[in-house]
Amino acid sequence: MEKTGSDPYSNAVTQLKQASAILASSYADKKEAFEQIIERLQTPDRVVQESVEIEMDDGSKNQYLVFRSQHNDARGPYKGGIRFHENVTLEEVKALSMWMTWKCAITGISYGGSKGGVVVNPRELSRAELERLSRAYARVVAPYVGAWKDVPAPDVNTNGQIMAWMLDEFERIVGHHEPAAFTGKPLEIGGSLGREEATGKGGVFVLLEFAKRIGKEPSDLTVAVQGIGNVGSWFAKLAVEAGFRVVAVADSRGGVRSKKDLSINIDELIEHKKSKGSVKGFRGTVALTSEAFLLQDVDILVPSALENVITPEVAKKMRAKAIVEMANGPVTPEADEILWKRKILSVPDVLANAGGVTVSYFEWVQNLHGYTWSKEEVFAKLEPLMVRAFDQMWTTHEDKKINLRMSAYVGALKRVVDAMLLRGR
């Protein structure tokens, strides 16, 4: 297989090339156009990179690097979150924007992919400084975003309050209300019920379908969740409610496993982490190092933190029987090949964590129509989209005898290619 670089964008391009090689025979009569489209999809349509300066509370000035990558909009407006993290890079943002293109295509929602980021540790900023930085970001991207252009949302270390500041700044610039320009907003200004838990909820719908396909009841399966932020905590909590045994949970400092392999009480674990700063020391558990956590004997491993945690070295030694990728890009392409050879199935991020962007799409639809759906309506609309996407991926997996990631990518890529062909791009 083609070797990748160490950055996530190299991984994303490699995955695109792998999927296009599988799909190429379907476009034999349009070979030249297909090849041109694949070449174009390797580069985002637009990348915005600027430095912004904000005033700190003590009167000094700090500069921050900001990004927005818009990958492809053949199927609809660009869509993607904004992350505030000290390790954000241009390559990461470009990769995430490409993955968003596939994620939206897999579930069938009418969006393309984008992603944004700011190189900052938001915990070092006061609330006032965070607001000034959020508004500065909105001013940079204002010419390129909007309800029918590009719809940002929260991501790592951002939330509804930050979206509220950004939306307010954007609306000041354009001179009118446009709530559909940003999603993941507070309910008071057009947010959607169910958005907070949507990514985790969508992941559990996928996990339930996976259990059916391998002929297991939820109670038969032990689950380990790495990462206990918004996505991981909701996934773990909802998986327990669905009957799965979440026996191990980890944060950035390490992990814990239930001594008797019973489900961990996720609400109590989250309270423990709030008070102690870590999941370690939680009652009825034994401590695990971060490395040992990835290598423990469980049925389902669920990476829910940052990318590239499942490396070739980890993949060779993993004892989990399957992976559900709730983080973006947690498995490298080289590790993918090893997992496939070892018959360890990995449900890809572009499907497993697509519940968040799907409910963001529902928020956008509600904003455009000036209407509010109940949480029950939101989840009733989410489940069939996730189930249908899983079914399509699984059918391709069985028909073509390829891994689940490539099965999902092939379906997503076909939708994007067809849209570009119809548009004459």
CATH topology of domain 45-177: Rossmann fold (3.40.50)
Question: Counting Cβ atoms within 10 Å, is residue 33 exposed (0-12), middle (13-18) or buried (19+)?
Answer: middle
Query: What does the pLDDT read at residue 5?
Result: 47
The 10s digit of each residue's pLDDT in 207-237 is 999 999 999 999 999 999 999 988 999 999 9
CATH of span 196-305: 3.40.50.720
User: Positive or negative, the Cα torsion across 236, 241, 245, 247?
Assistant: positive
- Identity of residue 289: T
Say if residue 390's pLDDT is above 60: yes
pTM given for the model: 0.91
115 is catalytic: yes
What single string gives the DSSP state of each residue in 41-57? HTS-SEEEEEEEEEE-T
How many other β-carbons are positioned within 10 Å of the β-carbon of residue 414? Answer: 16
The 10s digit of each residue's pLDDT in 319-359 is 999 999 999 889 988 999 999 999 999 999 999 999 999 99
Question: Counting Cβ atoms within 10 Å, is residue 351 exposed (0-12), middle (13-18) or buried (19+)?
Answer: buried
What residues are paired with 246 via a beta bridge? 223
Q: How far, in Å, CA of 84 to CA of 66, rounded?
A: 9
The reply to whether 45-177 and 196-305 are identical in fold is yes
Structural domain boundaries in the chain: 45-177, 196-305
| Angle 83-412-238 from CA coordinates, rounded to 5° | 55
The 10s digit of each residue's pLDDT in 140-155 is 999 999 999 999 999 8
- Identity of residue 206: V
The 10s digit of each residue's pLDDT in 5-20 is 468 899 889 989 999 9
Q: The tokens of 187 are what?
A: 């309910």
In Å, what is the CA distance from 372 to each residue of 111, 190, 363?
21, 8, 8
- Of the residues 115, 201, 237, 280, only one is catalytic, namely 115
Question: Counting Cβ atoms within 10 Å, is residue 115 exposed (0-12), middle (13-18) or buried (19+)?
Answer: buried
The 10s digit of each residue's pLDDT in 243-275 is 999 999 999 889 999 998 889 999 999 999 999
Quickly state the pLDDT bin for 305 (edges 50, 70, 90): confident
How many other β-carbons are positioned within 10 Å of the β-carbon of residue 402? Answer: 17
Mean pLDDT of 100-104: 96
Query: What does the pLDDT read at residue 384?
Result: 97
Share of the chain above pLDDT 70, in %: 99
Question: Counting Cβ atoms within 10 Å, is residue 190 exposed (0-12), middle (13-18) or buried (19+)?
Answer: buried
Answer yes or no: are the C-beta atoms of 99 and 134 closer than 8 Å.
Answer: no
Q: How far, in Å, CA of 231 to CA of 296, rounded?
A: 21
Quickly state the pLDDT bin for 4 (edges 50, 70, 90): very low
Q: The tokens of 342 are what?
A: 């070892």
Q: How far, in Å, CA of 158 to CA of 156, rounded?
A: 6
Mean pLDDT of 64-84: 98
Mean pLDDT of 29-54: 98
- The DSSP output letter for 186 is -
Q: Are strands 46-55 and 61-72 parallel, antiparallel or unpaired?
A: antiparallel
- Phi and psi at 319, nearest 5°, equal -110, -5
In Å, what is the CA distance from 47 to each residue of 96, 114, 149, 201, 253?
12, 9, 14, 32, 34
- Phi and psi at 115, nearest 5°, equal -165, 150
